[in-house]
Amino acid sequence: MKHINTILLSTIAYLLAWQQASHPASAQTRTETTLAASTLCGTVVHTATSKPLSAVRITLVGTEIGAITKADGTFCLTLPVQQVLVRLQVQRFGFAVQTLEVSPEQYRSTPLVVRLAERTFEMENVTVIAREESRHSQGSTVSRIDRAAIEHVQASNLADVLQLVPGQLAQNPTFGSEQQSLLRQNPTNADANRANALGTAVVLDGTPLSNNANMQSNVTILNSGPSALPPFASVAGRGMDLREIPAANIASVEVVRGIPSARHGDLTAGAILVETLAGAMKPQVLLRANPNALEGDISAGFGNGVSESGFNAGVNIVRSQDDPRITTDNFYRLNANAAWTQPWAVNEQGAPILSSTLRLAYTTTLDESLDDPDDRQFLRERFSREWRLRTNLNGFWRFSPNPASLLRWTFSATTGEQNSFFQDLITRSDIFPITAATPRIGSDTTVRGIFAPVEYLNKTTVNGRPLNLYGRVEASHLLTFETNSPSAPFALKPMIGVEYRMDANFGAGRQFDVLTPPRQNYSVGERPRSYDDVPPLTQLSGYAEVLATGSMAIDNANRPFSLVAGMRYDNIAPISLTAGRFGTTFVPRINASFEPIQGLELRAGYGITAKAPVLAHLYPNPQFFDVVNYSYFAQNPAERLVILTSRAISTAPASLRAFTTEKAELGVNARVEGFRATLVAYNEETRGAVGISRLVHAMPFARLQAQSFPRNAPPILAPEPMRLDTFLGQYDTPVPSRRISTRGVEWTLDAPEITPLRTTLNLSGAWTLSQAIDEALVVDYGALTRFANAPPRIGVFQNDEQRESERLVTSLRVINRFPELGLVMSWLVQTIWIERDRFLALSEIPQGFVDKTGRITLISQVQAEGDNFKDIRRPFDQRLLLTEDRPPLWLLNVRLSKTLPAGLQLAFYVNNLLADRPLYFQRRNQRFTERNIQLFFGLELQYTIPLEIHD
């Protein structure tokens, strides 16, 4: 790390020296903005009447820098550093929010004129797609999705919004299952997909949402793989459930897929930055319907939040039933939120100097599968009910005239309760002994048990009460350097911050009646478990970052550049400032961009990101084994006897640290005669990701025998055991052995409007190659069930779930805008050109074996292929070695948004308009499967209350 710091400091010094050499002057450090800052002035007018609008809020996207229009509609906005392009957000009570990209240089002599419309789709330059941009001139790959695009796509939750990101596939909206993100990675296997979602930070209004304390899990040894999900809806050990975040309250979304700022921690794959509505808006009522869901939303806002107080509130409710024929499966969501923004002090331009925003958000969801009255055989019922209350306070203080000199703070507290439930009618054809003994971890208890009824009803609940605390304080300042060329300044913007996180769970845990336990087999027992013994997980972090911007004189022209270099330190469960119980991470991040010729920007980035382990992985449920020492089932209940030895073992991993992702990317941004294009190539390597592995535990026990059988009494056992035996039991444990490799190329192309047709074209796409590797060996636990008696040794193999997946997809969007009609129509033609996958490590040849003592012995390849180890080879279907290579697949979607009289707005969409669902014959399992999403449609109606607007 010392060498990296030296390189970063040397690079900044070199750029400063080059700047001074290119523009000779007595370089003097300043804290004013006379040279480095530029001013953007303009006027805001009404689209219909061309009259100037006052009290319009203009903000620089991603900052607290802003201004308010005067009575004549004019404003002047001071930019912290000179930028080729800036993104502005313009909003006023009663008008649609408009986001536009402008060049300050273009409007240096001629003021900018912004036209605001009362409704979104009456604006001439409304953007209904994701825009690729460099994150605040920091060079990272970011897709920005503004309010108009969210409205046009008719998103119900955050998952629906992400389909606008390059490389993401269009999907039908659904609430029927948990929705997870998957950034820059193809679906491979369960562990890799979950690691990507877990490593994607969802940041809501500057506060990361945390799923670290979610422990809604279940023991899944019986008839299921080690990565099987519980029978109820849960995202424990995974990323946030995106169904819980309603899109109706979202103002904008930024999806950071490249190297993030050092500000963002506890992530690997990327970050989804969500800004919710806060401030003035007319009261709106929204109704949305599709074959599976009904949604209603009411929202309103008053005050601009810049020169005066701003208040915003809304309520959103959803009822979903994925299959109308199955009335027992339902999903409900209720969201209520309120935001209050208070500028405590403003400057001469009306922009706030000291401001804070307080947000309150309440969410409750119910995902249920009720008992089917027509099916009384199993009496199955499941539900997951959750509520969450989040309080968020953030603000800033501009402590100098410099608009980029800020002290920011964010504090958040989230509390809630999670209740999961499932019931099953347990029916057995054999005699099944159970015991209520609960030994301590690492000890055995031998007691008399009972024979369970042939049929009983099990009811299991999992109760969690997570608490998440978050705090961050950050300071930034702008340093400028004088040169003889005022048009080519050099500026440094250092930033430092500290951060604290705490995740705890105070729930009652997993509970059930020990005499009517969940279904058991293979001598695997179950016991209730409280979360009282789970300690909180804390993280203490610090970060520093510097943004260097300027230009270089090349061929008598100034060529802008930017460099962002940062370091982040995370201490997980701190013992001291330099040591943590679960380790520390110290990671560098750097992004650079340079414009060698006008309209062509080259950029590069490198960085490491890290995700801390979660409570579900650090403190998994312990495993119990109940081995029968003696069993005698007589017709007379008084003569029955069963003796069991119970053992409890900890399934917690011996050593668990943060898993990391090393990211590198190269990109090109080009602008030529109205065309905009981006191209980025990337490589990402994730190491130490957690997966669930099934291991074997050796448990010695005694076989007992009876010496006499008295009448009306249980047998009398002999004082000495008949023999000693060893039981090999299965248990699941988190193992940090997964490695995920992804490389790919992403691109976008925006064409200028074809004026006669009022049409624009957007082409985006991605080629992605992903590999999911398990660097640890796994035990062939299936051998314990393939044979009537446990074999003397069991093979050890490479994980057979290792996979490779390749995909090439393009999305062509044809957008027709008719602002005078308030109409926007878009067509999506999505083509999957390449879609293939294969297994990587399937082999019947073992790498070693585990014996009756539980000891693992590795063997050579020559030994494994010999006859001495034929008995531990793992049979598999040779067709699994085949590669699934699917033909190209096309999809056509259409969306329409139309403003109507009397404050109404109508939207309609059809997915898979041609109902094209071709059959594909899967080579590995010799079955046909339908490809493509189903034909699907939806309708949305929005009503805006026509309040009067006075200027």
pLDDT digits (tens, 9 = 90+) for 336-345: 999 999 989 8
In the numeric block, which tokens belong to residue 370? Answer: 């009720």
Give residue 34's pLDDT band: very low, low, confident or very high (50, 70, 90).
very low
Buried b (16+ CB within 10 A) or exposed e, 694-705: bbbbebebbebe
CA pair distance 573, 577, nearest whole angstrom: 10
pLDDT at 821: 87
pLDDT at 62: 64
pLDDT at 135: 43
Residue carrying structure tokens 């919004």: 161
Taking a C-beta distance cutoff of 8 angstroms, is the pair 475, 495 a contact? yes
Query: Average of pLDDT values for 37-54?
Result: 84
pTM for this prediction: 0.91
DSSP structure class, residue 267: -
**354-384 residue pLDDT tens:** 999 999 999 999 999 887 777 767 788 999 9
Taking a C-beta distance cutoff of 8 angstroms, is the pair 370, 400 a contact? no
CA pair distance 639, 725, nearest whole angstrom: 26
Query: Phi, psi (5° rounding) for residue 713?
Result: -150, 155
Give residue 221's pLDDT band: very low, low, confident or very high (50, 70, 90).
low
Query: Average of pLDDT values for 632-648?
Result: 94
- What is the secondary structure of 893-917 as a DSSP string? EEEEEEEETTTEEEEEEEESTT---
Q: Which residues pair with 384 in a beta bridge?
A: 367, 420
Give residue 26's pLDDT band: very low, low, confident or very high (50, 70, 90).
very low
pLDDT at 134: 55
Q: Provide the CB-side half-sphere exposure for 10 (13 A, CA).
A: 6
Give residue 951's pLDDT band: very low, low, confident or very high (50, 70, 90).
very low
Contacts by 579-584 with C-beta closer than 8 Å and gap 24+?
582/612, 582/613, 582/618, 582/656, 582/657, 582/658, 583/657, 583/658
Residue 161 CB coordination number (10 Å): 25
Q: How far apart are the first and last CA of the chain?
A: 58
CA distances (Å), origin 552, targets 483, 562, 756: 12, 11, 41
Query: Phi, psi (5° rounding) for residue 785?
Result: -110, -15
Give residue 111's pLDDT band: very low, low, confident or very high (50, 70, 90).
confident
pLDDT at 133: 72
CA pair distance 715, 639, nearest whole angstrom: 7
pLDDT at 7: 44
173-187, 254-268, 462-476, 783-797: segment of lowest average pLDDT: 783-797
pLDDT surpasses 50 at 545: yes
Taking a C-beta distance cutoff of 8 angstroms, is the pair 455, 2 a contact? no
Residue carrying structure tokens 């030296």: 6
Work out whether strand 270-276 and strand 200-204 pair parallel, antiparallel, or are unpaired: parallel
- H or E segment to which residue 5 belongs: helix 2-22
As a dihedral over the C-alpha atoms of residue 920, residue 925, residue 927, residue 932, rounded to 10 degrees, the angle is: -40
Q: In what order do the strands lie in the sheet with 848-851?
A: 777-779, 793-798, 848-851, 856-858
Amino acid at 472: R
pLDDT surpasses 70 at 683: yes
- The gap from C-alpha 690 to its chain's centroid, in whole angstroms, comes to 16
326-330, 428-432, 503-507, 833-837: segment of lowest average pLDDT: 428-432
Taking a C-beta distance cutoff of 8 angstroms, is the pair 294, 288 a contact? yes
CA pair distance 26, 29, nearest whole angstrom: 10
Give residue 136's pLDDT band: very low, low, confident or very high (50, 70, 90).
very low
Measured at the alpha carbon of residue 857, what is the angle toward residues 851 and 859, in degrees to the nearest 5? 125
Residue 724 CB coordination number (10 Å): 9
Length of the chain: 951
Does residue 488 or residue 734 have the better pLDDT?
734
CA pair distance 208, 596, nearest whole angstrom: 37
**194-205 residue pLDDT tens:** 999 999 999 999
Sequence-ordered list of residues with C-beta below 8 angstroms from that of 360, at least 6 positions apart, any chain: 337, 338, 339, 389, 390, 391, 392
pLDDT at 222: 62
Give residue 407's pLDDT band: very low, low, confident or very high (50, 70, 90).
very high
pLDDT at 783: 80
- The gap from C-alpha 728 to its chain's centroid, in whole angstroms, comes to 38
Q: Provide the CB-side half-sphere exposure for 405 (13 A, CA).
A: 15
Query: Average of pLDDT values for 47-56?
Result: 85
DSSP structure class, residue 754: B
Taking a C-beta distance cutoff of 8 angstroms, is the pair 242, 180 a contact? yes
CA pair distance 480, 494, nearest whole angstrom: 11
Sequence-ordered list of residues with C-beta below 8 angstroms from that of 646, at least 6 positions apart, any chain: 435, 437, 438, 439, 444, 445, 446, 447, 525, 624, 625, 626, 627
As a dihedral over the C-alpha atoms of residue 672, residue 673, residue 676, residue 678, rounded to 10 degrees, the angle is: -10
pLDDT at 132: 86
Query: Average of pLDDT values for 441-449?
Result: 93
Burial label, 873 (beta-carbon count in 10 A; 0-12, 13-18, 19+): middle
pLDDT at 32: 35
In the numeric block, which tokens belong to residue 248? Answer: 């109706």
Across the chain, what does the average pLDDT equal?
A: 87
CA pair distance 951, 945, nearest whole angstrom: 18
CA pair distance 572, 564, nearest whole angstrom: 26
CA distances (Å), origin 916, targets 780, 827, 829, 930, 936: 42, 16, 13, 10, 12
pLDDT surpasses 70 at 388: yes
In the numeric block, which tokens belong to residue 220? Answer: 């899944």
Work out whether strand 250-256 and strand 141-146 pair parallel, antiparallel, or are unpaired: antiparallel
**90-100 residue pLDDT tens:** 887 667 778 88
Query: Average of pLDDT values for 401-410?
Result: 84
pLDDT surpasses 50 at 482: yes
Query: Average of pLDDT values for 220-234?
Result: 80
Query: Average of pLDDT values for 647-676?
Result: 93
CA pair distance 359, 407, nearest whole angstrom: 19
3-state helix, strand, coil in the chain (%, to 5): 10, 55, 40
Measured at the alpha carbon of residue 603, what is the angle toward residues 598 and 605, in degrees to the nearest 5? 165
Burial label, 747 (beta-carbon count in 10 A; 0-12, 13-18, 19+): buried
pLDDT at 19: 44
